[in-house]
Structure 1
Amino acid sequence: MKSLELKPLIRVLNELETRSCLIEQQGHRIMDYYREPQIANELYKINSCTKSVISALISIAMDQQLVPQPETPIFEFFPQLGKDNDARKRDITIEHLLTMSAGFNWTEFGGQNSFPTMSKTSDWVQFVLSQPLSDIPGTRMEYSSGCSQLLATLLRSASGQAVAEFAEKHLFQPLGIYKYHWETDPQGTHTGGFGLHLRPLDMLKFGRLYLNQGSWEGRQIIQIETVRYSTRPFLPASKPQKAYYGCHWWTSSFSDERKAGTKIDYFYALGFGGQYIIVVPAYDMVVVLTADKFKKKRTPVDIFRQYLVPLLLQENA
């Protein structure tokens, strides 16, 4: 992508007061945009992009056989489900948590059984497990930070380490990520669905790891098969995005109408307010966006879909 072609994008980033935009293609940084220079070294909340980091940690733990295979019932880690009146809860698997298809009656963004309500309780895990089922496990995706907290708790139990400690050893240090902040729940478990703060460049490193199918500087951090499993579409989703959902990764595509409607697949981590880590394998590209000018009454602009994709299609025409 030529620098001239990026000028319209830079103009949009300025107009929207975008916090940061980093683009790497074929191993070369073609955009390093920061609204202010100091943002490059500032930690910022990546919100639900945290979910994709939890997915990576679960993947690593599975590869190391610390966490059992995806089809394993979570009853092994949460024996209190044995006392629940709804026997179907004992059929919930690790894969169901990863794909947010556990079946809990959940309203992520508000209400009695929501992420805000969970975060006000003294025991988030018990709150999630006690929710009634609205669906048979595995049948429907319902976005839930509750599922993510169960995964973080499961990882802590299986590894015998704090989630951040496990992340430092097996993910952050290999990628050269040394600066972060991670919130915890009342039990001291690091938050699975939100609460991780990173620099934009370190978000880019994480995306590059997945672009390279789990490989980093000659070392296989996550097995190729596990990366492919995690980032393939499992179930359709409508909230907070109309797309497909993998294992705590979103998946989608865009069409190149000039090439007989060829579809270009991509997958991405998405955080509230416009935080993105986007991986486009066909273009050998990673895109990171962070935003902090979010207005509650207005949906954040999807800069990638609305402004960058047309440039990509134009370049590859």
Structure 2
Amino acid sequence: MMERTTLHLPRSQPEAQGIPSAAVIAFLNTVKEKKLELHSLMLLRHGQVVVEGWWKPYASDIPHMLFSLSKSFTSTAMGLAAAEGKLSLNDAVVSFFPEDVPAEINSNLAAMEIRHLLMMGTGHDQDTTSKLQQCEDGNWVKAFLDAPVEHAPGTHFVYNSGATYMLAAILQKVTGQTLLAYLQPRLFEPLGIEGATWESCPRGINVGGWGLNVTTEDIAKFGQLYLQKGVWNEQRLLQEDWVDEAKSAQISNGDGGVSDWAQGYGYQFWRCRHGVYRGDGAFGQFCIVMPEQNAVLAMTSGTNDLQGVLDAVWDHLLPAMESSSLPANQDAHSKLAYELQQLALPLPQLPPDSPLEAIIDGFEYTLEQNEPLWKSISISFEANTAVVLLSKEDIEYTIKLGRGAWVEGTTPLFQREYQRFVGSFAWEQENTLQLTLRLIETPFSIHVHILFDGDNIVLSQNSNVLAEKSEIRGRKTEVK
């Protein structure tokens, strides 16, 4: 892997910054016991990295898909643009797109301001994202402005990724730059964030509400900037009043209680219990800022139990932070260092081979009609790898998987662009092959099970975080 030249945060030991190593071990044990699939974590205290770990095959230099944690970066761009006088939070949304507004603008749409986009108080009854993605002409702005606005803006919270897209569209309209380009000299370069990428809509506007990819340490730096109220290396990047507004509850999103999704919402930041706030994304991408503890926690994950992850933080990490340094505890620190070094997502504990390999090796199986439009599959076995050939129309995809170990590669199999993955295979039974692919720049792990029954196969697929399952049947079509 290429070595990153990014400026790294300073390192320290937990006890030196008032955190007992035993508390971190307890957190890691809870993550393991509750089967919370974390991919990485980095804990900062007083500006120092005191804990960092990656569950292999994830690693420190691999960027991770942030999903809605991207929203907090989009919000930051709006704060910067407001400070530069390029826009005001009181500006009407329709004022930026006269060519895309509906023929009749109702009063709620007319009253919608940038701040309502930021606080998820647009007045919509439901998220507009699917409406945007399904519009035939690719004009997401027009699709958003065409959506019914049922409530007065600022009075009704609905989590709405389409609203964040509109922030990105407004920014590009007033600056002539994409979000990514605009943030490059103002945020990414000062923080030493390199190689960031951001997904775009069909018209070349960064989608804003998701699609940003950076590393765990980049997330931690972003959180530290907010903890320091916009100052970085003695240079003010963000206005302090912006940070105060962005992290404060601007609209009610529930009745509080024990849910960290009902404590109020700021400008693309969630309020949490315990005086904490966070940016977060689907499947457990977190940037947690703890002002009272002077701490930041960055995590990437592939789990649906986001509240479980936060509960583990509140139970073990947050209450263990002391106001002053603790005596050095080399035994505890050595144990923690060992635990962090051993972090790994387990390979399937299954037989690595089967007598069936010699029988099915190299045969092609034609697949029945299926939604992914796969036409055929064949598998060849070598000493330590399985080579899977999947055909779709006139394209053939090759995937190599390790025998009881990870093999890394890239594939456009799941998206138009090539994605990094690691693959492994094992045998659930003598006649059932399991293929595991981890898309290591995303939260997703894909598990394919192939049942061999004479000349027939049944191929089923499921994911670590997605509920959808599929089953495809096939039949042997040629002789070796």
1:211-263: CA deviations, max 9, x gaps?
A: 00011001110011111111110111149922210011111222xxxxxxxxx
1:255-266 aligned at under 5 Å gives the runs: 265-266=275-276
Deviation at 1:314, TM superposition (A): 4.3
1:122-271 aligned at under 5 Å gives the runs: 122-238=138-254, 241-254=261-274, 265-271=275-281
Does the Cα contact within 8 Å between 2:40 and 2:58 map onto a contact in 1?
no
Amino acid corresponding to residue 84 of structure 1 in structure 2: E
CA distance in 2, matches of 1:95, 1:23: 31
Structure number with the higher strand fraction is: 2
Gaps spanning 5+ residues in structure 1: where?
A: 109-113, 255-264
The equivalent of 1:305 in structure 2 is 311
1:82-106: CA deviations, max 9, x gaps?
A: 7334133111111111111111232
Q: CA, structure 1 residues 118+75, in 2 after alignment: closer, same or farther (shift >3 Å)?
A: closer
Structure ranking higher on relative contact order (CA contacts 8 Å, 6+ apart): 1
The equivalent of 1:7 in structure 2 is 25
Amino acid corresponding to residue 30 of structure 2 in structure 1: V
Q: Normalising by structure 2, what TM-score?
A: 0.59
Q: How much is the aligned-residue C-alpha RMSD, in angstroms? A: 2.0
Gaps spanning 5+ residues in structure 2: where?
A: 1-18, 324-480
1:101-122: CA deviations, max 9, x gaps?
A: 111232x3xxxxx423422322
Does the Cα contact within 8 Å between 2:132 and 2:143 map onto a contact in 1?
yes
Does structure 1 residue 51 correspond to structure 2 residue 57? no
1:20-59 aligned at under 5 Å gives the runs: 20-36=40-56, 38-59=58-79
1:284-303 aligned at under 5 Å gives the runs: 284-292=294-302, 294=303, 299-303=305-309
Does the Cα contact within 8 Å between 2:101 and 2:142 map onto a contact in 1?
no
CA distance in 2, matches of 1:42, 1:116: 29
Residue 278 of structure 1: SS of its match in structure 2? strand
Aligned residues: 296
Which stretch shifts more, 282-291 or 5-14? Answer: 5-14
1:158-182: CA deviations, max 9, x gaps?
A: 1121221101111111110012221
Match of 2:130 among 72, 93, 116: 116
CA distance in 1, matches of 2:293, 2:305: 27
Does the Cα contact within 8 Å between 2:45 and 2:295 map onto a contact in 1?
yes
Q: CA, structure 1 residues 139+302, in 2 after alignment: closer, same or farther (shift >3 Å)?
A: same
Residue 269 of structure 1: SS of its match in structure 2? strand
Deviation at 1:12, TM superposition (A): 2.8
Amino acid corresponding to residue 5 of structure 1 in structure 2: A
Residue 192 of structure 1: SS of its match in structure 2? coil
The equivalent of 2:123 in structure 1 is 103
CA distance in 1, matches of 2:185, 2:62: 22
Deviation at 1:78, TM superposition (A): 2.1
CA distance in 2, matches of 1:290, 1:29: 16
